[in-house]
Amino acid sequence: MAAGKSHLNIPIAIGILSLFGWSLYEIFSGVGTGYLDSLAGLIFFLLIGKWFQHKVYDQVSYTRNVQEFIPLVVRQVNGEETIWSRIDELIKGDQVLVKNEEIIPVNGILSRGSGLIDYAFITGEALPEQVSIGEQVYAGGCQKAGELTVTLLEQPSIDKLWSTWSNQTEKKDFSNRWTDHISKYFTIAVITIATVAAVIWSFSSIEKALFVFSSVLIVACPCALALSAPFTFGNILRVFSANSFFVKEAEAIATLGDIDHVVLDKTGTITENKSMSVSYVGSKLDVATARAIKALATQSTHPLSNAVAQFLSKYQAIDSTSFEEIAGKGIQGEIGGRIIRLGASQWLTATESKGTAVYVSVDNEVIGHFKISASYRSGLQGVLHRLGKLVKLSILSGDNAGEKETLKEIFPNFFQLKFNLKPQQKATEISKIQYDQKVLMIGDGLNDSSAIEKGDLGIAITENLNGFYPGSDAVLLSDSFDKLPAFMELARYSKKILTWSLVFSLCYNVAGVSFAVLGLLTPIIAAILMPLSSVSVVLLDTLLVRIKSKKLQLI
């Protein structure tokens, strides 16, 4: 047991030592036969209780099969096409496509593309490593120079990716210490009651005083207190996972329940990537330029780049000589001997048009832009109104303010609606809100990584379970976006469950201690009763989580 929780077992340890010590005294002094038989029975039943407790912890442990988490699928190269495949179904020799800023999911050989791999998540080395075709690359590295293809050298290990995600440089503190605070006073109170009761009983019978002392220490079981939080959070985690919401740490559920303010990105978060409407405005695109633009756009995972690539899907992409993605600005590369740039109007010094647009320059000359009409997620208005009853809502976006009035119509009560923000500016805005509120940041892709990390809780939303964001605290599949209010309500309900578990446990202990003080319990009976409190709390927590989840239509 962790050092911070060791005091939960102090009363039981003292009770056992008192029985053992008194038994040795009687045996060696010749005044009696001792109580070693009772002590053996006591330890037997205590071990049964401990076995039950450990089985429960095994059931609720967050270190479960990592296949419940990302990435479950990768882009497998299948001839001229790519298909989504489960990572655990890949075999040696298969090829995997990795886009810019994505984590390499396998150990293998670089077979196409330019490798500039950042292994900081694994080794802590700050400088990316240049890798040439034919050289080995390793799972957990982040590609920084565009699209590449990796040929597998071995069966993929999902555990390596899980360890990468769980070992981010700066961890947030989601620890839930309420049981420790209570148990400190609990331990002092139990020892005091046992000592006073033993002193009073000693005037009539030393033997009775010893049994009362031991019985009080043992029946006042701290196990229920220790089990209530992990078992409650463990049950909620199962419900979340079943609804495609994957939380990294169980204790983060308590933080989710404390959130006062939800900050949302726009593109890729509240908009639907699959149904964006794209049109081109500007100089006519010849085939060579269209192929070059597609080659550049396909290498990025940004939703707007994906929309442009889909719009140019009929063109065959050209291999690029170089690639660079600049967060908050855009992407650029040398393709067919020309420098192609796609990005924001400010970056390309283009005249800004209304609405969301991706501007294009060829050899530093702006030739036009792709106008992109956002299609908001189905049921967005209902989601925002439900969330608005629970928390404050804000939009922090890197896009221009073309959709501002539309968003106000969808939900008129936004706390903030800010646009044209660079990634670090989003993080700064979140810091201002955090002065007196707990913030949940929900975003998508490279541009939101710093803001996601800055939030008290950060959620990366993804269309497919191939995204990999080491700075995020949870991943939400986009199809489950409409369940976000229900997730928050269930997390908030966990406080009530913990309170009821605490009240039940205290009532149980008060009743047990009362009988023990009156001399109506032997240590063995106390040891039999002790696990029953744990069983009762486990059943209570499971039932309450299940009832609430059904009410919220999560199961």
For 113-122, 218-227, 380-389, which range has the lowest pLDDT when averaged over its residues? 218-227
Q: Is residue 382 located within the same domain as residue 485?
A: yes
Distance CA 307, CA 321 (A): 22
Quick one: pLDDT band at residue 310, thresholds 50, 70, 90? confident
Name the domain boundary from 354, 373, 392: 373
Q: Which domain holds residue 453?
A: 240-271+378-489
Question: For the stretch 489-526, what's the b/e string if a residue is b when 16 or more beta carbons lie within 10 angstroms of its beta carbon?
Answer: bbbbbbeebbebbbebbeebbeebbebbbebebbbbbb
* pLDDT tens digits for range 239-263: 888 898 888 777 889 899 999 999 9
pTM over 0.85? The answer is no
Asked if pLDDT for residue 53 goes beyond 70, the answer is no
- What contacts 24+ positions apart, CB below 8 Å, involve 419-425? 420/346, 421/396, 421/397, 422/327, 422/328, 422/398, 423/327, 423/328, 423/398, 423/447, 423/448, 423/449, 423/450, 423/451, 424/450
Q: Kindly indicate the confidence band of residue 62, based on its pLDDT and cuts at 50, 70 and 90.
A: very low
pLDDT score for 255: 92
**pLDDT average, residue stretch 63-86:** 66
Listed range (20-34, 153-167, 306-320, 515-529) with the worst mean pLDDT? 153-167
- Average pLDDT estimate for 402-410: 87
Assess whether pLDDT exceeds 50 at residue 65. Answer: no
Of the candidates 325, 318, 322, 319, the residue with the CA atom closest to the CA atom of residue 344: 325
CA distance 433 to 438: 8
Start-end of H helices in 108-251? 120-123, 158-166, 178-202, 206-219, 223-242
pLDDT at 467: 54
Q: Are residues 383 and 472 in the same domain?
A: yes
Rounded to a whole number of angstroms, the distance between the first and last alpha carbons of the chain is 33
Q: How many CB atoms lie within 10 A of CB 304?
A: 30
The sign of the dihedral angle between the CA atoms of 88, 89, 92, 96 is negative
Residues 186 and 309 reside in one and the same domain: no
115-118 sheet: strands from edge to edge: 129-131, 115-118, 142-143
For β-strands 416-418 and 330-335, DSSP reports them as unpaired
In this structure, the answer to whether residues 328 and 290 fall within a common structural domain is: yes
Q: How far apart are CA 200 and CA 425, in angstroms?
A: 68
Range 28-32 average pLDDT: 75
* Strand 330-335, strand 324-326: pairing: antiparallel
| Pairwise pLDDT comparison (378 vs 463), residue with the higher score | 378
Q: How confident is the model at residue 552 (pLDDT cuts 50, 70, 90)?
A: very high
Residues 397 and 480 in one domain: yes
pLDDT digits (tens, 9 = 90+) for 180-239: 566 667 777 878 888 898 899 988 888 788 778 877 877 776 666 666 777 788 888 888
Q: Tell me: do 455 and 314 sit in the same domain.
A: no
Higher pLDDT, 418 or 213: 418
Gap between the Cα atoms of 253 and 537, Å rounded: 19
pLDDT of 429 reads: 93
Which CATH number does the domain housing residue 98 bear? 2.70.150.10
Residue 446 CB contacts under 8 Å (≥ 6 apart), including other chains: 101, 301, 302, 325, 327
The helix (run of H) or strand (run of E) holding residue 341 is: strand 338-343
**Based on the domain organization, do 76 and 220 belong to the same domain?**
no
Average pLDDT of 286-295?
Answer: 91
List, in order, residues 6 or more apart from 162 with CB less than 8 Å away: 66, 69
What pLDDT shows up at residue 481? 92
Query: Of the ranges 151-165, 311-325, 455-469, which one carries the lowest mean pLDDT score?
Result: 151-165
Task: Look at residue 386 and tell me whether its pLDDT is greater than 90.
Answer: yes
Q: What pLDDT score does 238 carry?
A: 83
Determine the pLDDT at residue 526.
Answer: 67
Measuring CA to CA, which residue among 85, 80, 82, 103 is closest to residue 301? 103
Would you tell me how many other CB atoms lie within 10 Å of the CB of residue 188?
13
**End of a domain among 150, 166, 182?**
166
Question: How high is the mean pLDDT of the chain?
Answer: 80
pLDDT > 90? residue 391: yes
Q: Is 79 exposed, middle or buried (0-12, 13-18, 19+ CB in 10 A)?
A: exposed
- The whole-number average pLDDT for the span 284-303 is 89
Q: Which of 134, 166, 198 is the last residue of a domain?
A: 166
Same domain, yes or no: 109 and 53: no
Mean pLDDT along residues 460-474: 70
pLDDT score at 468: 54
463 and 393 share one domain: yes
* Residues comprising the chain, all counted: 555
pLDDT of 390 higher than 70 = yes
At residue 5, the pLDDT reads 46
The verdict on 193 and 55 lying in the same domain is yes
Q: Which two tokens stand for residue 261?
A: 């303010």
Structural domain count of the chain? 4
CATH code of the domain covering residue 257: 3.40.50.1000
- Tell me, yes or no, whether 288 and 423 share the same domain: no
The candidate with the shortest Cα–Cα distance to 296, out of 309, 285, 310, is: 309
Predicted confidence (pLDDT) at residue 157 exceeds the cutoff of 70: no
Q: Which residues pair with 68 in a beta bridge?
A: none
In this prediction, residue 393 carries a pLDDT of 96
Are residue 45 and residue 127 in the same domain, yes or no?
no
